[in-house]
Structure 1
Amino acid sequence: MSTSPSRRIRIFAALLVTALGLPAAGSAVATSGDSAESPPHISGHRTTPVYSYEDAIWETVYVDAGQDTDADGESDRVAVDVVRPKEAAESGHDLPVIVTTSPYNSVIPGTHSSMRGAFDENFNRLTAPTEWLDNYFVPRGYAVAFVDAPGTFRSTGCHDYFGGPREVQGVRKVVEWLTGLGEAQTHDGKPTAAGWSSGQVGMIGHSASGINAIGVAATGVKGLETIVPSGAGGDLYLDNSSSGDPGGGHVLEMVKGSNGDQVPSPDPYCRETALPALAARAEDPRYVRNAFWDERTAIRSAANIRASVFQMHGVSDDRVSMQNATSWWKAIAARDVPRRLLVHPLGHQNWHAVDPSVHERLGEWFDYWLHDLDNGVMSTHPEVTVIGGDGERKEYSTWPHPKAKEVTLKLGNTEGATAGTLTSASRPKADRDVLVRGESAVSPKDLTKHRDTQAVFVSNPLGHEVTVSGDLSLTVRHKSTQPETAIHVQAFKVGKERRYLDAGYMDGEELCVGSASETDRHCVPKQDQYFAEVDDWSLTGTSAKRPTQLSVDDRTMRPHRPDVWSTSSFTIGTGEEVISKGQRIVLVVRVAPGGARTPAAEHELLIDPKKSSLTVPIKGRARSLR
């Protein structure tokens, strides 16, 4: 059975006490589910909802972040809303804590936020948040902590954005406070301690919240037993440079304040000095992996992790790529971190959009890691669950699929052909280079033909079904007419099929999770699998844009030499997709400006198919791609 170091220590201590016949100190470690020693919320090997959510205790504390990011001479404070069952407090039962952090909690005083409830002009809470975590877990013997990311809403300081070191530091201090370390105070400045906490902490979050959980876990903070990130990864550079918009992307949009997802900081120093400096660090030098991105690359510190990981990600996520999520998964797998993964075919959807009953599985996960209940979650559940494009579930022993093998598909192109070829057979005929011109917006209707603004390479129809599982990579020989030209590439499968496209809302039906209160109905519109006929589908969910002058290690820009051939090799994305018999693989190569210095139409890229290839991880008959 896989356990964290702190969990093994607690279980060993409980067994030692039992063996020596000594009285247990403090709350019991419920490894056996003995009802005589267990608190009322534990029944056998699971927690059960016995506490009133209506009567739950709400309190707001401000944790000392141990840093002064807004240069006001005072330590920053991180605002934390804690909700916990009143009955457990009255009976003296210490509780584990589930923490979720978000930079999106800002609201106009007196108005209602979709996630955080309503507040008065002094930011005192008027209503509970419309989140499901507290509704489901508080009655089951957990405390839930909602954290305003450092530098947002009620937390002071300057926001560091998406796993930055100062954001991670602030939330780490929250975890430490929950384990008995650190300092916090109430709204009126009185010191307060988390004496009701068992010292066992988990973190959960989607998107930015999940990125923060990964960052905090990578610090190795004691007491953090598990994290549950979804739509998150461990290397933001992959989404904002080599696999996103070269030199930018949505993270930089947010840092610059142009995204609109967050209320601008009211602090003049943050708004006028700190955040512009942060954006400048990200862009200088242009496109390359620099210190800004290194600070937001949690995989660099994966060796520190103590927590287990339950991860969920969508192959079609165009906000946080599957490649980014996979980089984190591979890093923790290499260190044998206890882990589970749910892969689904959708985009940047949250938990319940993918699985309406996911709270039950997460409940088992937290019961095991935070309440020490031996419910079999690590021994009976598969390491990897994959929901395919057909909506069906499959179980893997690891991910990518252990039987997936890299198959190299060579590019070919002949004079007068309407499209190039893509095959694993001996090098196809390639007697003509392909010229691609840039344009501002590319939305071709036909993915199987060359045209001025795209080069297309098409495989033969597959003779057998295969599965793509893992990283797809491209090696391409090219020369460009302009500096900072970017190769814009994406791989597709082409051929009609009916597939699971989205989680559609069901008219009049609701999903209710956990218990309700007078101000929190705990219900949201129910979603179900939405299917539709499609003609083609991306194998990786996102396209890749790669500046032609970017070095192999992503850290320098090579001098541009017009009309001189050079070679670029890079990962174009990560996929988990079944390709049916009769369907084809298509590689589409376009041209994108690597910056704003020259119009798109002035960029031209010449591709040499003879020395170019696409590598695809295939489970199944590789000969199908000949």
Structure 2
Amino acid sequence: MQSGMTGISQISRLVTAAAIVIAGGLALPSTARAEPPPKHVSGNTTIPVYSYAGAAREVVWVRSSVDSDGDGALDRIAVDIVRPVDPTQPDLKVPVIIEASPYYTCTNACGRGNELERKLYATTDPASPVSRMPLYYDNFFVPRGYAFLAVDLSGTGRSKGCADIGGPGEVLGAKAVVDWLNGKAKAFRADNTPVTAPWTNGKVGMIGKSWDGAIANAVAATGVPGLRTVVPISAVSSWYDWERLNAGLVAAVSSMDDLHLKVTGRPPAACAATRTTLQTAGAAVDHNAFWGQREPVAQAGNVQASVFAVHGMNDLNVKSSNFGRWWQQLAAHGVPRKVWLSQEGHVDPFDFRRAAWVQTLHRWFDQWLQDLDTGIMSEPMGSVERGADVWADSAVWPPTGTHNVVWSVRSGNGVTGELTTGAPQGGEAAVTDVAISEPNAAAAPEIGKAGRHVFLTAPLAADLHTAGAATVVLRIRSSVPSSALTVRLVDYGPRQRVNWELGSGITTLAPETCWGAQTPADDACYHETTKNVIATDTSVLSRAWLDTAHRKSLADPTPMPADTWETVVLRLHDTDQVIPAGHRLGLVVSLTDSTYTWKAATGGSVQIDLHRSLLRLPTAPA
């Protein structure tokens, strides 16, 4: 906007003159002059023109809307800022990239990125700005006309409040930072003097992996104005799904209280009440109000930002169902979006597809935060890793024409069942509840084993492409009121595969590459990685778990009536895989999973009614 205002009489004269000219059939010449682009814009891209060494570095505390530690004062959230300055452009206003994280200063084997970087400060003075920012975002983007803000989540680093693990304290604290950048919240310096952000245009993007990505999702789900895009990487969209497998079972991961202890920066007494909540409500196996506060997927209809999601299909920390349900809801609400799906586990794309990732992320942020037409929204929506460093693009994801194909389960030879697109047949199969590990359950499908039953296709006549979330429907009769139920889709056939069980699929190498400008205190160089590959005959493609007592409701468990047939439905984790011709697809049914759940085996048994059980497999065109 121009600083001056045109008088009303002058406007009237201009409008009258314009009307006369138009009435006379003459074209009205344009007098508007396009504002020249800032010097960091060249064509449809941003270029590094600002000094990283000369960037402004400061720390402010944004006042949240919640008092998560109950001390009578609203939380103050620490925000470390690195932003470009240019004496020739004193009115320069730039967009902002935020990563809100609990990991910036914790020392218990945590930090940011593959190399576990943490914030470093020049002095111990609370007002000391950051001298080393983790990761490369500031190094790469600040010279290109972006500010980068590293936000300590509530109760971590230099922030007040309490770490409530995806709860209102963390989410609304991070949201307040977006509000401050748009003039809707207050912030203060260390000496308590108010501070504003006149250097930003209010356009904000958020990025982060895992917990950080969960906060990006959750802030987007508040619908906060000014948040233009989020980039969630291996991100949680439901903490219940992460901790309880969305199935009433306890996953073999950290408890909510363990996470608090890992990252908290507050004295124990300050957050005793929060810990009590994490230890009680957060320990509940049943879905409750605590878990309901931590499910941005349920609020996806509020999202006003675009979303670029990245997830490992073999991520057994944040399972791909966290991506899949989020993606499904974003699609239902027409959110502009893009996705990368990799064969790795819990790994940042910077460490499995580095050059392409930085280039793509640059174009994504330029599109959504700099208002440049980079062409990225006209390109394929999906990019999927088929094998180690072999990627295939898809115009939309799941691919157009993907539909559910129903596979029946049959008795087979009595040891190994049959999985077929033919009509169902009668018969039953029995599975005894003994603890069995995933490798043992998936291996050697032709051999009978206690604790599992395998249904196997004939060798496939053509490649089979599945994309999305498969569903298994089982008609069962249980001898016990509650037991675990586990199903897996398995690809049987020799192949070189990413070995996600070793280092989540990558090995860190000695050589480094550099991605942005640097200072003596903050370089932009990171170790290269290589993919871990292995030749195997067996690959688990997707999984699902269920506590049979939660078959009807995650909030209100009901025991299985003895010797009564009931139907249960299991939604497997989202994936995109091609099973080659000649391989066999297996559906492995077991009960207690000793690898990924903590539920004890009951010693009971489950009967499966084969005539009324099936697999619905989302199948993409060949």
The two structures have a TM-score, normalised by structure 2, of 0.87
Deviations 1:537-577 (A, max 9, x none): 1222xx32201121335332123323332221120222200
CA positional deviation for 1:237: 2.8
When residues 402 and 436 of structure 1 are mapped into structure 2, their CA distance, relative to the original with a 3 A threshold, is: farther
Once residues 76 and 438 of structure 2 are traced to their aligned partners in structure 1, the CA distance between those partners, rounded to angstroms, is 47
State which drifts further: 594-603 or 396-405.
594-603
When residues 259 and 156 of structure 1 are mapped into structure 2, their CA distance, relative to the original with a 3 A threshold, is: closer
Contact 1:208 1:232 in 2 (8 A): yes
Instruction: Name the SS of the counterpart of 1:301 in structure 2.
Output: helix
Deviations 1:357-376 (A, max 9, x none): 11111111111211111222
Contact 1:248 1:283 in 2 (8 A): no
When residues 19 and 74 of structure 1 are mapped into structure 2, their CA distance, relative to the original with a 3 A threshold, is: farther
CA positional deviation for 1:292: 2.3
Once residues 260 and 608 of structure 2 are traced to their aligned partners in structure 1, the CA distance between those partners, rounded to angstroms, is 35
Instruction: Name the SS of the counterpart of 2:550 in structure 1.
Output: coil
Instruction: Name the SS of the counterpart of 1:388 in structure 2.
Output: strand
Residue 133 of structure 1 corresponds to: 137
Identity across matched positions, percent: 30
1:57 aligns with 2:61: no
CA positional deviation for 1:228: 1.1
When residues 330 and 431 of structure 1 are mapped into structure 2, their CA distance, relative to the original with a 3 A threshold, is: closer
1:146 counterpart letter in structure 2: A
Contact 2:250 2:599 in 1 (8 A): no
Once residues 165 and 126 of structure 1 are traced to their aligned partners in structure 2, the CA distance between those partners, rounded to angstroms, is 27
Once residues 37 and 598 of structure 2 are traced to their aligned partners in structure 1, the CA distance between those partners, rounded to angstroms, is 67
Residue 606 of structure 1 corresponds to: 607
Map 1:210-609 → 2, pairs under 5 A: 210-243=213-246, 246-247=249-250, 250=253, 253-257=254-258, 261-263=262-264, 265-270=266-271, 272-284=272-284, 286-287=285-286, 289-357=287-355, 358-379=357-378, 381-389=379-387, 391-413=389-411, 417-428=414-425, 430-439=426-435, 441=437, 443-444=439-440, 445-501=443-499, 504-505=506-507, 507-540=509-542, 543-592=543-592, 599-600=600-601, 602-609=603-610
1:153 aligns with 2:157: yes
Instruction: Name the SS of the counterpart of 2:392 in structure 1.
Output: strand
Map 1:37-56 → 2, pairs under 5 A: 37-56=36-55
Deviations 1:436-456 (A, max 9, x none): 222265641424433112111
When residues 73 and 603 of structure 1 are mapped into structure 2, their CA distance, relative to the original with a 3 A threshold, is: same
Structure 1, unmatched stretches of 5+, are 1-17, 29-36, 622-626
Deviations 1:225-247 (A, max 9, x none): 11111111433333333457714
Instruction: Name the SS of the counterpart of 1:602 in structure 2.
Output: coil
CA positional deviation for 1:138: 0.5
Once residues 510 and 609 of structure 1 are traced to their aligned partners in structure 2, the CA distance between those partners, rounded to angstroms, is 55
Once residues 405 and 536 of structure 2 are traced to their aligned partners in structure 1, the CA distance between those partners, rounded to angstroms, is 26
Contact 2:211 2:236 in 1 (8 A): no
1:181 aligns with 2:184: yes
Contact 2:469 2:572 in 1 (8 A): yes
Instruction: Name the SS of the counterpart of 2:387 in structure 1.
Output: coil
Contact 2:247 2:554 in 1 (8 A): no
1:433 counterpart letter in structure 2: A
Q: Superposition RMSD on alpha carbons, in Å?
A: 2.8
Q: From the CA coordinates, give the structure whose radius of gyration is larger.
A: 2
Once residues 255 and 122 of structure 1 are traced to their aligned partners in structure 2, the CA distance between those partners, rounded to angstroms, is 32
Map 1:8-23 → 2, pairs under 5 A: 21-22=31-32
Deviations 1:255-311 (A, max 9, x none): 2226874347424141x3222213422344x33x33222222223222222111111
When residues 55 and 68 of structure 1 are mapped into structure 2, their CA distance, relative to the original with a 3 A threshold, is: same
Deviations 1:141-168 (A, max 9, x none): 1100000111212111112213x23321
Contact 1:485 1:591 in 2 (8 A): yes
1:526 counterpart letter in structure 2: E
Once residues 282 and 331 of structure 1 are traced to their aligned partners in structure 2, the CA distance between those partners, rounded to angstroms, is 25
Once residues 194 and 152 of structure 1 are traced to their aligned partners in structure 2, the CA distance between those partners, rounded to angstroms, is 23
Once residues 279 and 239 of structure 1 are traced to their aligned partners in structure 2, the CA distance between those partners, rounded to angstroms, is 16
1:301 counterpart letter in structure 2: Q
1:618 aligns with 2:619: yes
When residues 596 and 469 of structure 1 are mapped into structure 2, their CA distance, relative to the original with a 3 A threshold, is: closer
Contact 1:455 1:589 in 2 (8 A): yes
2:510 counterpart letter in structure 1: G
Contact 1:405 1:617 in 2 (8 A): yes
Contact 1:117 1:125 in 2 (8 A): no
CA positional deviation for 1:588: 1.4
Once residues 551 and 48 of structure 1 are traced to their aligned partners in structure 2, the CA distance between those partners, rounded to angstroms, is 54
1:195 counterpart letter in structure 2: P
Q: How many residue pairs were aligned?
A: 581
Contact 1:473 1:573 in 2 (8 A): no
Once residues 400 and 232 of structure 1 are traced to their aligned partners in structure 2, the CA distance between those partners, rounded to angstroms, is 19
Contact 1:401 1:470 in 2 (8 A): no
State which drifts further: 570-579 or 390-399.
390-399
Instruction: Name the SS of the counterpart of 2:591 in structure 1.
Output: strand
When residues 578 and 88 of structure 1 are mapped into structure 2, their CA distance, relative to the original with a 3 A threshold, is: farther
When residues 158 and 427 of structure 1 are mapped into structure 2, their CA distance, relative to the original with a 3 A threshold, is: same
Contact 1:480 1:563 in 2 (8 A): yes
Map 1:201-212 → 2, pairs under 5 A: 201-212=204-215
1:383 counterpart letter in structure 2: M
1:196 counterpart letter in structure 2: W
The two structures have a TM-score, normalised by structure 1, of 0.86
Residue 34 of structure 1 corresponds to: none
Instruction: Name the SS of the counterpart of 1:600 in structure 2.
Output: coil
When residues 534 and 469 of structure 1 are mapped into structure 2, their CA distance, relative to the original with a 3 A threshold, is: same
Structure 2, unmatched stretches of 5+, are 1-27
When residues 102 and 448 of structure 1 are mapped into structure 2, their CA distance, relative to the original with a 3 A threshold, is: farther
Instruction: Name the SS of the counterpart of 1:80 in structure 2.
Output: strand
CA positional deviation for 1:202: 0.8
Once residues 75 and 466 of structure 1 are traced to their aligned partners in structure 2, the CA distance between those partners, rounded to angstroms, is 55
When residues 112 and 396 of structure 1 are mapped into structure 2, their CA distance, relative to the original with a 3 A threshold, is: closer
Instruction: Name the SS of the counterpart of 1:240 in structure 2.
Output: helix
State which drifts further: 474-483 or 95-104.
474-483
Once residues 397 and 219 of structure 2 are traced to their aligned partners in structure 1, the CA distance between those partners, rounded to angstroms, is 24
Contact 2:106 2:263 in 1 (8 A): no
Once residues 493 and 607 of structure 2 are traced to their aligned partners in structure 1, the CA distance between those partners, rounded to angstroms, is 29
2:204 counterpart letter in structure 1: V
Once residues 305 and 558 of structure 1 are traced to their aligned partners in structure 2, the CA distance between those partners, rounded to angstroms, is 35
Instruction: Name the SS of the counterpart of 1:418 in structure 2.
Output: coil
